[in-house]
Chains A and B, each alone.
Chain A
Amino acid sequence: MSKEVTGTTWNVYDANKLTQAEIYGQTLCDLGDVYPEIVALTADLAKSTKIGLFQEKFPERFVNVGIAEQNLFGMAAGMAKTGLIPVVSTMAAFASMRAAEQVRTDICYQNLNVKIIATHGGVAFASAGTTHHATEDVAIMRSFANMTVIVPADGIETANAVKAAMKVDGPVYIRIGRGFEPTFYKDEDYGFEIGKAVEVREGTDITVICMGITVLQAAEAADFLKKNDDLSVRVINIHTVKPIDKEAIMKAVTETRRILTVEEHTVIGGLGTAVADVIAESGKGCAFTKVGLQDEFAEIGYPEDLYSHYKMDADGIIEKVREIMGKDFEEDDNWDDEV
């Protein structure tokens, strides 16, 4: 798996016009020219997941299995066993829960080259309710050995992630939204690398570590707090939840001593837990707060209402940062001198 993508211009996506899912669909079509091994599979969601664009271009390399997610991922495993690279798209809730065993046992255990593009991640399908929310998927997927887990910040990063996933010789889970989320990045040339976090705002007082749609929200919060509160807020887009960038996390712990994780996911087992694991194992102490669903299922509503309610939007992050900064966190030990 070391093919270079040639003859493809990656900066063609007009992020103001194309949704995250549409960019993914277009990216996959471009990759289909480069990689004849790519086959696209879905379970009656060709339209919603935009994988249908690939179907139009490569009808013989597209399979719709109907509403049958267990078979979807089992068949993908079988196809990968014959040398193909199946790219499988369905909603994150069904990929991670209905077909969890097929993903774990057929795909991860056999370490197969299957790329899962899970749409409607988090509470993106907000008013559809809990059956269609995927608020545990990152926790589930990151617990499977051999699995790489990526949560892109927007459509631009999705294009980068899908492209990079083709160079991983093994399973990759890419969790995207519904497609209507605002874009954070302006272009694709910011140095996307799987497993390497991106510092999107510099800062020294506190670090907000986030993934997916919360990256834009945290960046806006940081800009606001700099202007109005004279606070220096570092924002890290940790698009790859596994393998996680320990170096970026520990650098933030050492340099800012306060960590806030924000995830569109339960705080049990997801990004916050992954970051907490790194910090706990380091033996270093810091102020640490997790924003996300607090052992609860999400309400029904429009996405913006839910992001606001669960403090995942800029206002919520501003509120949380102020709360943390208002607390007396004495740096009463000298561990940072020993680093």
Chain B
Amino acid sequence: MVQKEEYHKLLKTARTIRHSIIDTTMKAGGAHVGGGMSALDMMVTLYFKFMNIDPANPDNPDRDRFILSKGHSAIGYIPVLAERGFFDKELLNDFNKFKSPFGMHPDGNKIAGCDASTGSLGHGMPMGVGMAMGARIQKKDFYTYVIVGDGELNEGSNWEAAMAAAHHKVDNILVFVDRNMHMIDGPVEEVMSVEPLTDKWKAFGWEVLVIDGHNLNEIAQAIETAHKTKGKPVVVIAKTVKGKGVDFMEDQTKWHYGAIDSALGDQAHASIDKMYSDLGI
């Protein structure tokens, strides 16, 4: 549960980062804005409330780990790391440009605070289960968080990892499914259905929670529940909206990837401000 003051602070952080995503997308010449916005509130809650991390010591071996398995949402993730203080926000101006550490997909060897290079889908879950088991083998108590896309669950490697995590009773991992309902070619349920999603994870031996992936309280409660769950891994199916916060992008398959000119940028900024103003921020 998040107290009111902290809740407002997290909302303000999310608002700042949503604006940063729009600015960065404009400078980058295009980005996977839709999925960046849908996964954002989970990343904000993790990085600004729960994760044991220190931007001054990003490689601390005892830190909590985070893997953005849907690496194309880097446009949402990298501004989170910047806002959290891992590096100078000015660096975002070079997103996608020659020799920038930031491209469409995050490179863990180049970005302070980024625990894994991702982009090819279906890789984050196996790596995350490896990290969680690595903690257990070394008797460390850090936690591993992974965000996978709903379309990404088409990749079979996720289910190999799901099977292994349950079999080995890995209970220091939390996987969020960013259930924004869209993939490149259209709605997930039309292109390649992943339903019944809850039943699938349950059948694989996971504890399943279903939440509103934009409600910071529900996200926080899910994380707290996961921390208390022993003997099995936890997955949170987070119902989200692709392009959340930008009215003309919301729930639109075409905003999987797109460019924003200054007129659209103004519209996007105004839309974000309106959403937060409606929330009393």
Partner of A70, one of B119, B132, B157: B157
Interface string of A89-116 (1 = CB under 8 A from B): 0000000000001100110011100000
Q: Is the CB of A71 within 8 A of B157?
A: yes
- Could you tell me which residues of chain B, from 89 to 132, have a CB within 8 Å of some CB in chain A? 108-109, 115-117, 119-120, 122-123, 125-132
CB distance from B133 to the nearest CB of A (A): 6
Q: Which residue of A lies closest to B167 (CB)?
A: A66
Which residues of chain B come closer than 8 Å to A65, judged between CB atoms? 160, 164
CB distance from A51 to the nearest CB of B (A): 16
| Interface 9-mer from B134-142, B243-251, B262-270 | B134-142
A132 CB within 8 Å of chain B = no
Chain A interface helix/strand/loop/mixed: helix
Q: Is the CB of A74 within 8 A of B131?
A: no
Partner of A81, one of B115, B157, B164, B167: B115
A61 CB within 8 Å of chain B = yes
- Could you tell me which residues of chain B, from 141 to 195, have a CB within 8 Å of some CB in chain A? 144, 156-157, 160-161, 163-164, 167-168
B65 CB within 8 Å of chain A = yes
CB distance from B241 to the nearest CB of A (A): 30
Q: How many residues of B contact A (CB 8 A)?
A: 34
B61 CB within 8 Å of chain A = yes
Q: Which residue of B lies closest to A86 (CB)?
A: B130
Q: Is the CB of B134 within 8 A of A105?
A: no
Q: Is the CB of B138 within 8 A of A83?
A: yes
Partner of A111, one of B109, B126, B161, B164: B109
CB distance from A43 to the nearest CB of B (A): 9
A78-B131 in contact given A61-B137, A71-B160, A71-B164 (Cβ < 8 Å): yes
Q: Is the CB of A66 within 8 A of B164?
A: yes
A105-B164 in contact given A74-B125, A110-B109 (Cβ < 8 Å): no
Q: Is the CB of B128 within 8 A of A110?
A: no
A209 CB within 8 Å of chain B = no
Which residues of chain B come closer than 8 Å to A61, judged between CB atoms? 137
Which residues of chain A come closer than 8 Å to B140, judged between CB atoms? 82
- Could you tell me which residues of chain A, from 42 to 71, have a CB within 8 Å of some CB in chain B? 60-61, 63, 65-66, 68, 70-71
A71-B131 in contact given A81-B115, A81-B116 (Cβ < 8 Å): no
Q: Is the CB of A105 within 8 A of B126?
A: no
Which residues of chain B come closer than 8 Å to A81, judged between CB atoms? 65, 115-116, 127, 130-131, 134
Q: How far is the CA of A61 from the CA of B128 in the complex (A)?
A: 17
A75-B129 in contact given A83-B61, A105-B117, A105-B123 (Cβ < 8 Å): yes
Q: Is the CB of B156 within 8 A of A70?
A: yes
Q: How far is the CA of A98 from the CA of B138 in the complex (A)?
A: 29
Partner of B133, one of A68, A75, A83, A101: A75
Q: How far is the CA of A65 from the CA of B167 in the complex (A)?
A: 9
A78-B127 in contact given A66-B163, A71-B161, A83-B134 (Cβ < 8 Å): yes
Q: How far is the CA of A68 from the CA of B122 in the complex (A)?
A: 13
A78-B157 in contact given A63-B168, A70-B122 (Cβ < 8 Å): no
A126 CB within 8 Å of chain B = no
Q: Which residue of B lies closest to A78 (CB)?
A: B130
Which residues of chain A come closer than 8 Å to B131, judged between CB atoms? 78-79, 81-82
Q: How far is the CA of A77 from the CA of B156 in the complex (A)?
A: 18
Q: Which residue of B lies closest to A70 (CB)?
A: B157
Q: Is the CB of B126 within 8 A of A82?
A: no
A141 CB within 8 Å of chain B = no
Q: Which residue of B lies closest to A81 (CB)?
A: B131
Q: Is the CB of A74 within 8 A of B127?
A: yes
CB distance from B116 to the nearest CB of A (A): 7
Which residues of chain A come closer than 8 Å to B167, judged between CB atoms? 66
Partner of B108, one of A39, A63, A66, A110: A110
Which residues of chain A come closer than 8 Å to B144, judged between CB atoms? 78
12 further A-B pairs in the complex, CB-CB below 8 A; given A75-B161, A78-B144: A63-B133, A68-B160, A70-B122, A70-B156, A71-B126, A71-B161, A74-B130, A75-B129, A83-B61, A86-B130, A102-B123, A105-B123
Top-3 shortest CB links A-B? A78-B130, A74-B126, A82-B134
A-contacting residues of B (Cβ < 8 Å)?
A: 61, 65, 108-109, 115-117, 119-120, 122-123, 125-135, 137-138, 140, 144, 156-157, 160-161, 163-164, 167-168
B-contacting residues of A (Cβ < 8 Å)?
A: 39, 60-61, 63, 65-66, 68, 70-71, 73-84, 86, 101-102, 105-106, 109-111
